[in-house]
A and B are shown apart, each in its own frame.
Chain A
Amino acid sequence: MKLKKYSRSTYAILFAIPIMLCLLSVSCKKDFLDKKPDKALLVPTTVQDFQALLNNLTIMNAAPSLNMIAGDEFLLPDDALEYLDISEANSYTWEPFSSERLLDWETPYQQVFYANIILEGVDKLPNDPATQSQRNQLKGNALFFRARAFYNLAQEFSKPYTKASASTDQGIPLRLKSDVNIKSVRASVQQTYDQIITDLNTAKTFLPKKPALNTMASQLSVNALLSRMYLSMSDFTNAKKAADEYLTADNQLIDYNTLSASGVNPFPQSVATGNDEVVFYGDLISALFNFFSPYINPAIYNSFEQNDLRKSLLFVDDGTGNFSFIGDYTGFTYRLFGGLATDEVYLNRAECLARSNDLTAALKDLNLLLTNRYKTGTFTPIVSANADDVLARILLERRKELIARGTRWSDLRRLNLEDKYKTTLSRVVKGKLVSLPPSDNKYVFAIPNNEISGSGIPQNPR
């Protein structure tokens, strides 16, 4: 075959054209590089995406657990201390110690971060009537979860609320935007609670009366949390108001006579099967503590009367003469309940009523609860005209009913502000008596070091 000069360039062109076309057709396709590298990777933008973030129970529904370890509900065999995380061991022995990292600090702030991403994301969504109710739900939930996180943080990392000093006491950083580069500063205790109240009250306007699934927020859970929060502020009027509102909408209690003692958790799994008292599912951050045979403080165990069903249903002999607690409202053995339930709201209201000297109403609530806890026919309703006696009984029942709910610490903190109810906690650790006097600095946990070095906020006094 012979080729002439010009025919070469002809071939060159013939050859080059398809290449060029090829190049152009691909490079002009702008979306070639917009393809997601991993389908599981999600840049959250839709209602479903935000809902999926909210559904992350492990993060969103967790509640701090060190307070339970530091409190007076459980004791631990000495050898178990070796195995605990150092922050848990130090909480148990009340060492004035600050950890490098602390899940009790990180997890609630992760909840705040998620909530802020959802709030900002939902605001950017088009105002489409078809998604109106979903957007409202998301907004209400995000506000509720943020408020709950702030409340939980305030219980561990700032002083208990006292009106006189609330505006000068150090609260917690209130992160209201998702931008991780904003520098954190500590708000005052007053600002902290104000923010929680604002968030909850706004949330209420977006939320349904009752939850579709109890991992989500509703007006019920807002009222339960409001009632718990006001109680921790010793604002009994508002605590009662929230409890009233709650109990008007839902007053169902479980009759423990319907449960059977089998050596395992008698309650159904509160999310999958449902627990009539649980309006909001939460669980305490998993602590090693739970896996090394903590046993119930004998003082609490012994305070149950023989006909009290809780004594046989909620505890098992762990083989050493001590009793393990198995009655978590989660329905699982190693997962402690950190949510909100009707029994607590009854006790909140009873206490508020007793404090306002409405003893009949207070005892009505208390007796109703206890009737559901004792063997049928064995409970004699309490009758008393002595306000102190009634209040003392309510506080005792509160301690017995709300075991391992993460509420005892807040109760200790607020009651320590009242001379009548001041308590010094003490226990024997490796043969040594250690104690925690009322209003000790250690009632406010140390903020972890990575926060102090990262944002420079002031540490709590040790």
Chain B
Amino acid sequence: MKTIIIAFLLAFVISESHAQSLIVGKVIDSETQRPLSGATLRINQFNLTLTSDIAGNFKFRPGSGDFKIAVSYIGYLPLTLGVNPASRDSIIILLERKNNELKEVVVSTGYQNIPKERATGSFEKVNNELLNRRVSTDIISRLEDVVPGLVFNRGTSNASYQTQISIRGQSTIFGKADPLIVIDNFPYDGNINNINPNDVESITVLKDAAAASIWGAKAGNGVIVITTKKGRYSQPSKVSFNSSVTIGDKPDLFYLSKISTPAFIEQEKYLFNKGLYNRDENSANKNPLTPVVELLIAQRDGKISAAEANAQIESFNSQDVRNDYNKYLYQQNVQQQYNVNLSGGTTNQSYYVSAGYDKNIANLVNNQYNRVSFNANHTYNFFNNHLDVGTGISYIQSDNIVNNQGTTGIYFSSNNGSALYPYAKLADGNGNLLPVNHDYRSSFLTAARQAGLLDWTYNPVQEVRLANNHAKITDYRFNFDLVYKIIPGLNASALYYYGRTTGLNSTVNTQDSYYARDLINKFSSVPADGSIVYPVPLGGIADFGNSLAIAQNFRGQINYAKNWNSKNDLTAIAGYEIRNTHTTNNQYREYGYDPEHATVTKVDYINYFPLYYNTASTLQIPNADNLSDLTDRYRSYYANIAYNYDSRYTISASGRIDQSNLFGVRTNQKGVPLWSTGIAWNVSNEPFYKVAWLPVLKIRATYGFNGNVNKSVTAYTTARYNSGIDNLSGLPYATITNPPNPDLFWERVKVVNLGVDFQAFNRRISGTLEYYHKNGIDLIGNAPYAPSSGIVEFRGNLSNNSGYGYDFSVQTRNLAGSFKWTTNFLFSKAVDKVTDYKIKGSGLSYLQLVYPLEGRPLYGVYSFKSAGLDPATGDPQGYLDGKISKDYTGIINAATPDSLQYNGPARPTMFGSFRNTFSFKGFSISANISYRLGYYFRRSSVNYATILTGQGGHGDFEKRWMKPGDEAFTQIPSMPAANNGNRNNFYMYSSALIEKGDHIRLQDINLSYTIGKDKFKWLPITNIQVYAYANNLGILWKATKTPLDPDYPIAQFPPVRTYAFGIRADL
């Protein structure tokens, strides 16, 4: 293999010319900027040979005239440099590592940078090139499929999670399950989706205790350290530009099976005859009825003939509202991204300035996301490199416009349920928008209009067009860093961070919006004189929310690094930090809102008003005011030390004490550190090591503890003032939330990690294999308490869990030369289980909730064992006391966690990716295949509760058992004469609906073409790249026979396929 050698040479000048004065210089690594001690400098003109000292410095007094310095250093490319002494008295020499592929990887913990070669812990670095392989608005999604052990929990949407990421399984039950996200030096609490990926240089993921325990109580779920781009000393000014456009398909609204319109109408007729709609028809609340039911009523009452009714009903058969949704509510999405940055530096200052703009037009019509970001950071050094001062300012403003709630907002509020009839029409053939039946019967709406009320019809598409909802976030981050070199090897740093995030939410419902018209009309009354009284005033209704989060951090740290006898290498840090995060939030509502004149009208929140549609009921005007005020405080002490002998043996130790305002004094006083230790042995550096085919072999082992934060508990008897006042008494009131628990403590995770790093066959193959074992100790869990004590459950450090797994990553360079082929293969196994949990729930709780059970993973799939269908009736059958049974109530009541069938984990236990990259000249194509194995999901099917209440439901209805013999080809139960809730529940949670989730998918393909000045001298710029990227390409294989995507079994539709095109240039 031919190594491409790029000589990297840069020399910088500090003004003033003194002939024959002293010349000072420094030799440093071009990548890490670490000083290189012992470099040889040869100046033939003066017959002079120098060696750089421990700090990389050298100095000499030159003779007259130009001269050349030849610099050499083992492992680095030799360099010869012409110098005109008249114009310079200071030289910085940057040496490039010899083999580009072997470039020293430096990982960042957020406290220090460590060469990966000397690390004992489990670090995974994702470099800039790999981050840029994906095209996305956010940074976090770019970690998918490139970090072993890191998995995205797809298809879940738990708003309390900042990310949907798990690193090596979940090691908490009720605590924060997100990895800690660190930007440069400090944890970031803002919305991570707002960080512009173009400003990110690299990401390091800290997985085990040795890597992460420096973050102490917050590190239990792993740490993601984002390093942003910075200018470098002695770097010419560089302008980079990146722009891309991503276009996404329309979603597939037919992804989830639904009962067909004709079948739905048939069912409506059947239910009409059974009298299901009588309650709605006679309801005091003027509940709406579907067009078919209205026709059936008209026919029954003799207002229209049977033939007429049938003809009209017939005409609905071909209508499917999903086509209208597709046409009027959804569109292709378009994401545009533009970013430009400027960076550079001289010997004593560097800078990076960037500006970015993103504009995403969502799949949902009228939804948009816009983001503007600016970033500027500067570093200066003073006093001959003794003091570094860094400042950074970042400004991000985003606006998330959600005017279209999709199909969820378009409901139908009858007594029976809220599903919209499938033959609803959103527009007529000419595209004129149509109202649909929504909250009230149409005849009532007509009468109300005649009485002088506002138009009361509901037009879903019109609503989307009228909506005006913004969630604006403005995020400022400000850094001020000082690093002072006290003596060689010893420096002290002080870092200060100030982050300020303001959120401004507004939902403005103008008077034309249904929301406002409905509320105004609802409260209106028409006295005898025909005038109209409006307790809810005419005008718009606006909801506003303001939030402000201020984070402040201060860190003081001493760093020490010493190398002696060129064999001993010691690094140590110790520091102290404090952190304060203060979040306030207030929400309020304005009635009679007039945006033109910014005026509002007062309303009476106290009294009850009769409702127009049912004067017998009374309501208060809804009040939506709310306040909150939260403070998080931490004080921490930490230290880390690593010693390396002769590049062969490394030992490391790390410890941290955290104190916070969460758990009260007693926990803080204990001051128990979370600590870790590790060893590493570079076997291949041993003199005795002679395995030629395996030139690099390193073995690592670490052990230690990380912590988890759980904000739901405190040490005191606490009560919570309920927001607002009691509706009855008008008095403020409070609820006791916690009995006292003075023994509360951080959750701890004990981690053992064993790793092997290797490079083999002339470095054609390189990789890492790691095994880990984790124990969650003192996890916050619940235990049942006798209710006579006043509490039913007690939450404390009561639970444990454990997990283990492997992470394997290997890179093979299959073809080298002008045509290159590289393969990256990642495989991870992550298994966890709850080992100690005091409460056992009822059988149903394991089926319906995430409920911890000893011996099982936290996320498990359970079911009632199915015994197929009764051949005589088509009833689903299960087992009760070991016998086949149809006593559904009995089965459900008798179900215990042990009697339920445990199908397996709900989250993938094995996952990874297989990425091939081919390149030729400037072309490169890379395809990523990802796989997820060893897990199960529950699919949905027909639920007769909705079928028998005219709500429609799953398309399985049409494939149900209808006559004896059908059980040969269907598992779908027959329709019972009357709804039976327990029969529905039994089938819904029976093993017949459990599917294996295993699948392989072609996740994405990236294609790029790059040309650079190095090859094409005529180019006016350094290099330029055009790229194309396609994502969510499709499933190649799956275990389930259903058409479902195993990661999105209950989603309305899986993520859409996207295609991106972009251009990237360095000027």
Which chain A residues have a beta carbon within 8 Å of chain B's beta carbons?
A: 1-3, 8-9, 11-12, 15-16, 18-19, 22-23, 26-27, 32-44, 49, 52-53, 55-57, 59, 79, 82-83, 86, 100-101, 105-106, 109-110, 112-114, 116-117, 172-173, 175, 178, 180-184, 213, 215, 262-264, 269, 271-272, 281, 319, 448, 450-451, 453-455, 457
Whether B736 contacts A114 by the Cβ 8 Å rule is yes
Whether A55 contacts B633 by the Cβ 8 Å rule is no
Q: Which of B454-492 contact A (CB under 8 A)?
A: 482, 484, 486-487, 492
A-B contact count (CB 8 A): 212
Whether A53 contacts B734 by the Cβ 8 Å rule is yes
The size bracket of the interface on B is: 35 or more
Task: Point out the residue from B556, B719, B978 that lies within 8 Å of A79, measured CB to CB.
Answer: B978
CA distance A438 to B792 in the complex (A): 33
Given contacts A33-B635, A55-B732, contact A319 B787 (CB under 8 A): no
CA distance A34 to B659 in the complex (A): 11
Given contacts A11-B387, A272-B728, contact A40 B628 (CB under 8 A): yes
Q: Flag whether B554 is at the interface (Cβ < 8 A).
A: yes
Task: Point out the residue from A44, A272, A448 that lies within 8 Å of B717, measured CB to CB.
Answer: A44
Whether A113 contacts B556 by the Cβ 8 Å rule is no
Q: Which of B756-798 contact A (CB under 8 A)?
A: 784-792, 794
Given contacts A43-B718, A114-B790, A454-B784, contact A281 B556 (CB under 8 A): no
Q: Flag whether B980 is at the interface (Cβ < 8 A).
A: yes
Whether A44 contacts B719 by the Cβ 8 Å rule is yes
Contacts of A215 in B (CB 8 A): 728-729, 731
Contacts of A19 in B (CB 8 A): 492, 494, 556
Given contacts A15-B492, A86-B893, contact A37 B484 (CB under 8 A): no
Closest to B839 in A: A450
Task: Point out the residue from A39, A43, A116, A180 that lies within 8 Å of B630, measured CB to CB.
Answer: A39
Min C-beta distance of A226 to chain B, whole Å: 24
Task: Point out the residue from A117, A175, A264 that lies within 8 Å of B788, measured CB to CB.
Answer: A175
CA distance A348 to B629 in the complex (A): 51
CA distance A424 to B586 in the complex (A): 58
Whether B728 contacts A180 by the Cβ 8 Å rule is no
CA distance A181 to B783 in the complex (A): 12
Min C-beta distance of B145 to chain A, whole Å: 37
Q: Flag whether B735 is at the interface (Cβ < 8 A).
A: yes
CA distance A281 to B726 in the complex (A): 14
Q: Flag whether B882 is at the interface (Cβ < 8 A).
A: no
Given contacts A15-B482, A450-B787, A451-B787, contact A3 B731 (CB under 8 A): no
CA distance A451 to B218 in the complex (A): 37
Given contacts A117-B736, A262-B616, contact A27 B728 (CB under 8 A): no
Contacts of B492 in A (CB 8 A): 12, 15-16, 19
Whether B734 contacts A451 by the Cβ 8 Å rule is no
Whether B732 contacts A184 by the Cβ 8 Å rule is no
Task: Point out the residue from B578, B735, B978 that lies within 8 Å of A59, measured CB to CB.
Answer: B735
Closest to A26 in B: B578
**Which 7 pairs from chain A and chain B are nearest by CB?**
A113-B790, A454-B786, A455-B786, A39-B629, A55-B733, A52-B734, A12-B486
Whether B789 contacts A182 by the Cβ 8 Å rule is yes
Whether A55 contacts B616 by the Cβ 8 Å rule is no
Given contacts A3-B386, A451-B786, A457-B788, 9 further A-B contacts (CB under 8 A): A33-B659, A36-B631, A37-B630, A38-B630, A39-B630, A41-B719, A41-B737, A79-B978, A448-B787
Contacts of B319 in A (CB 8 A): none
- Against A, the Cβ 8 Å flags (1 = close, 0 = not) of B712-749 are 00101111111100101111111111010000000000
Contacts of B661 in A (CB 8 A): 32-37
Q: Flag whether B595 is at the interface (Cβ < 8 A).
A: no
Task: Point out the residue from A43, A116, A180 that lies within 8 Å of B785, measured CB to CB.
Answer: A180
CA distance A117 to B785 in the complex (A): 18
CA distance A134 to B631 in the complex (A): 32
Q: Flag whether B576 is at the interface (Cβ < 8 A).
A: yes
Contacts of A9 in B (CB 8 A): 486-487
- Against A, the Cβ 8 Å flags (1 = close, 0 = not) of B126-139 are 00000000000000
Whether A82 contacts B980 by the Cβ 8 Å rule is yes
CA distance A281 to B722 in the complex (A): 20
Among A23, A55, A114, max chain B CB count under 10 A is at A55
Whether B576 contacts A113 by the Cβ 8 Å rule is no
Task: Point out the residue from A27, A55, A183 that lies within 8 Å of B726, measured CB to CB.
Answer: A55
Whether A113 contacts B717 by the Cβ 8 Å rule is no
Among B492, B718, B728, max chain A CB count under 10 A is at B728
Closest to B284 in A: A263
Min C-beta distance of B92 to chain A, whole Å: 16
Whether A40 contacts B723 by the Cβ 8 Å rule is yes
Task: Point out the residue from B386, B482, B729, B787 that lies within 8 Å of A213, measured CB to CB.
Answer: B729
Contacts of A101 in B (CB 8 A): 787, 792
CA distance A177 to B621 in the complex (A): 42
Contacts of A455 in B (CB 8 A): 786, 788-789
Task: Point out the residue from A42, A79, A105, A271 that lies within 8 Å of B729, measured CB to CB.
Answer: A271
CA distance A44 to B734 in the complex (A): 9
Task: Point out the residue from B617, B711, B717, B792 that lies within 8 Å of A43, measured CB to CB.
Answer: B717
CA distance A304 to B371 in the complex (A): 71
CA distance A22 to B556 in the complex (A): 9
Min C-beta distance of A248 to chain B, whole Å: 27
Which chain B residues have a beta carbon within 8 Å of chain A's beta carbons?
A: 282, 383-384, 386-387, 482, 484, 486-487, 492, 494, 554, 556, 576, 578, 608, 616-617, 628-633, 635, 659-662, 665, 668, 711, 714, 716-723, 726, 728-737, 739, 784-792, 794, 842, 893, 978-981
CA distance A281 to B665 in the complex (A): 41
Whether A40 contacts B629 by the Cβ 8 Å rule is yes
Min C-beta distance of B224 to chain A, whole Å: 25
Contacts of A112 in B (CB 8 A): 788, 790
Contacts of A34 in B (CB 8 A): 661, 665
Task: Point out the residue from A8, A15, A56, A450 that lies within 8 Å of B733, measured CB to CB.
Answer: A56
Whether B282 contacts A319 by the Cβ 8 Å rule is yes
Task: Point out the residue from B608, B630, B731, B785 that lies within 8 Å of A55, measured CB to CB.
Answer: B731
Whether A106 contacts B729 by the Cβ 8 Å rule is no
Contacts of B739 in A (CB 8 A): 178, 180
Task: Point out the residue from B631, B734, B787 that lies within 8 Å of A454, measured CB to CB.
Answer: B787
Whether B717 contacts A106 by the Cβ 8 Å rule is no
Contacts of B662 in A (CB 8 A): 37
Contacts of A37 in B (CB 8 A): 630-632, 661-662, 711, 714
19 residue pairs from A and B, CB less than 8 Å apart: A1-B384, A3-B384, A11-B486, A15-B492, A22-B556, A32-B661, A37-B631, A37-B714, A42-B718, A42-B719, A44-B719, A44-B734, A56-B735, A101-B792, A172-B788, A263-B616, A271-B729, A272-B728, A450-B787
Contacts of B721 in A (CB 8 A): 40, 42, 52
Closest to B982 in A: A82
Contacts of A55 in B (CB 8 A): 726, 729, 731-734
Closest to A448 in B: B787
Given contacts A3-B384, A23-B576, contact A8 B784 (CB under 8 A): no
Min C-beta distance of B25 to chain A, whole Å: 15
Min C-beta distance of B784 to chain A, whole Å: 6
Contacts of A42 in B (CB 8 A): 718-721, 734
Contacts of A56 in B (CB 8 A): 722, 726, 733-735
Contacts of B717 in A (CB 8 A): 43-44, 117
CA distance A178 to B631 in the complex (A): 29
CA distance A429 to B628 in the complex (A): 50
Min C-beta distance of B743 to chain A, whole Å: 12
Min C-beta distance of A64 to chain B, whole Å: 13
Given contacts A11-B484, A454-B784, contact A57 B635 (CB under 8 A): no
Min C-beta distance of A442 to chain B, whole Å: 19
Contacts of A38 in B (CB 8 A): 628-631, 720
Contacts of B792 in A (CB 8 A): 101, 106, 450
Contacts of B659 in A (CB 8 A): 33
Closest to B607 in A: A272
Contacts of B787 in A (CB 8 A): 101, 105-106, 109, 448, 450-451, 454
